[in-house]
Amino acid sequence: MTTRDDTKTRLDALRVEIERRNPAQPEFHQAVHEVLDTLAPVLAARPEYAEPGLIERLCEPERQVIFRVPWQDDQGRVHVNRGFRVEFNSALGPYKGGLRFHPSVNLGIIKFLGFEQIFKNALTGLGIGGGKGGSDFDPHGRSDAEIMRFCQSFMTELYRHIGEHTDVPAGDIGVGGREIGYLFGQYRRITNRWEAGVLTGKGAGWGGSAIRPEATGYGSVLFAAAMLRERGEDLEGQTAVVSGSGNVAIYTVEKLLALGANPLTCSDSSGYVVDDKGIDVELLKQIKEVERGRISEYAERRGASARFVPGGRVWEVPADVALPSATQNELDENDAAALVRNGVKAVAEGANMPTTPEAVHLFQRAGVAFGPGKAANAGGVAVSALEMAQNHARTAWSPTKVEEELAHIMSAIHTTCHETAERYGAPGDYVTGANIAGFERVADAMLAQGVI
């Protein structure tokens, strides 16, 4: 019989082995540890999951592709970037996950994102496996023509690894509608196929789903609202701090406003803006989506209610709810302590792994409702799966239908996480609930499909 002690010893040994075999990948280690830390109760309760090799297989990507991406800038100079696609787990469906273009990208970052994606995608209840990709390309300050040439070069290698039944990329940091357009165009040209379901996040007129751009931000606000409701509170009338000013942050702000909450902040790498009247989402969209400008311009154009705080972090602004929506490890223990001191009630991760493990523990000890990204930001990939469904059926749903489906999926994810946490003796712990519920679904499929 497997005891809790045996399980813990085995998980500890596995952790050491993973660090040894994947050196210099701290974010990947962090993501794996965070999941393994919560699995002991389910492994002890369900001996079939403790089968030798199951967790080991789950932590090893099925396939990892690394490739050269050469491209020419507007002056004719040649640049060489590195491209990645990590196809982590396909037990539940084709690999699914975004592409990130950012100078910080390396194999460890893509592996952490791909690993998280497995559980997040499982939680949606839809048929999608987990993967992630990207490049260390820095789109900042590049012309449209340079972005296009980069995307074309990237796809010239990527196309052979993807397909609507194989691997379906989408956007992430640095990859939005413009980049998906260039990537899709090159895929179509090389393959001579109209294969709409090979990428998601496409334009509305050529196979994209309504509400896909909004889905991640809308979903994380719905998740925060569900956590508050569980505690007998309402999101309406609450103040919120939001970090970031990309796709997730913008639509987080939009949904907060729609539900009667007051989003006070947004940020970029240069600092943050705080707006006492609440962020004006149309101005934010104009600056970030149309002009691709900096967040400081928001304060310059908004008038007296807003100010720009160079180099600051939004977490110092008192608020009822926090929605970290920028990037990994952007909210540390000190930030969490400031939020708790200022009375924060709920935190929902719009970004992937934005909260450090120490900060997560601090929130949990303080009794703050904490929604991990795997659950809280799953709305984006969920609507991607709905985009795939529409593509396969050669149809397009109305925005109302997609938004209803999104609300239904987010509510189901909240209930699943909540009930799973309770079942395994960790009531109110959405981290344990999300990890175990996602794990159970993937593990059942892996066990049924044999040792592959």
Please, which residues bridge with residue 40 across strands? none
Cβ 210 to ligand GLU shortest distance, Å = 15
Q: Closest CB to ligand GLU among 344 and 381?
A: 381
Distance CA 294, CA 273 (A): 11
Distance CA 249, CA 44 (A): 39
Chain positions 197 to 216 lying near ligand GLU, rule: CB under 6 A, are: 200
The answer to whether residue 217 forms part of the interface with ligand GLU (CB under 6 A) is no
Q: Tokens representing 367?
A: 């009794």
Cβ 321 to ligand GLU shortest distance, Å = 21
Measured N-to-C along each axis, helices 107-123 and 378-392 cross at an angle, to the nearest 10 degrees, of 70
Chain positions 368 to 387 lying near ligand GLU, rule: CB under 6 A, are: 380-381, 384
SS3 395: coil
Q: Closest CB to ligand GLU among 186 and 247?
A: 247
Reported as type and span, the H/E element at residue 167 is strand 167-170
Cβ 384 to ligand GLU shortest distance, Å = 3
Chain positions 221 to 250 lying near ligand GLU, rule: CB under 6 A, are: none
Cβ 405 to ligand GLU shortest distance, Å = 15
Distance CA 435, CA 146 (A): 40
Distance CA 353, CA 373 (A): 6
Cβ 379 to ligand GLU shortest distance, Å = 9
Per residue, what are the HEC states of 195-233? CHHHCCCCCHHHCCCCCHHHHHHHHHHHHHHHHHHHCCC
Distance CA 134, CA 197 (A): 19
**Site size with ligand GLU, rule: CB under 6 A:** 10
Select from 352, 390, 391, 435 the one that contacts ligand GLU (CB under 6 A). 352
Q: Closest CB to ligand GLU among 261 and 385?
A: 385
Which one is catalytic: 120, 132, 255, 288? 132
The answer to whether residue 7 forms part of the interface with ligand GLU (CB under 6 A) is no
Chain positions 47 to 106 lying near ligand GLU, rule: CB under 6 A, are: 96-98
The answer to whether residue 172 forms part of the interface with ligand GLU (CB under 6 A) is yes
Select from 110, 126, 170, 222 the one that contacts ligand GLU (CB under 6 A). 170
Site map for ligand GLU, 122-161, x if CB under 6 A? ----------------------------------------
Helices (H) and strands (E) in the chain, counts: 16, 13
- Rounded to the nearest 10°, the torsion over CA 260, 266, 272, 276 is -10
Cβ 328 to ligand GLU shortest distance, Å = 11
- Residue 68 DSSP one-character state: E
Q: Closest CB to ligand GLU among 174 and 263?
A: 174
Per residue, what are the HEC states of 115-163? HHHHHHHHHCCCCCCEEEEEECCCCCCCCHHHHHHHHHHHHHHHHHHCE
Q: If you count them, how many residues does the chain have?
A: 452
Residue number of the CB atom closest to ligand GLU: 98
CA 222 to chain CA centroid, Å, is: 15
Q: Closest CB to ligand GLU among 64 and 334?
A: 64
Q: Closest CB to ligand GLU among 380 and 433?
A: 380
132 noted as active-site residue:
yes
Q: Closest CB to ligand GLU among 344 and 406?
A: 406
Residue ranges binding ligand GLU (CB under 6 A): 96-98, 170, 172, 200, 352, 380-381, 384
The residues assigned a catalytic role are 132
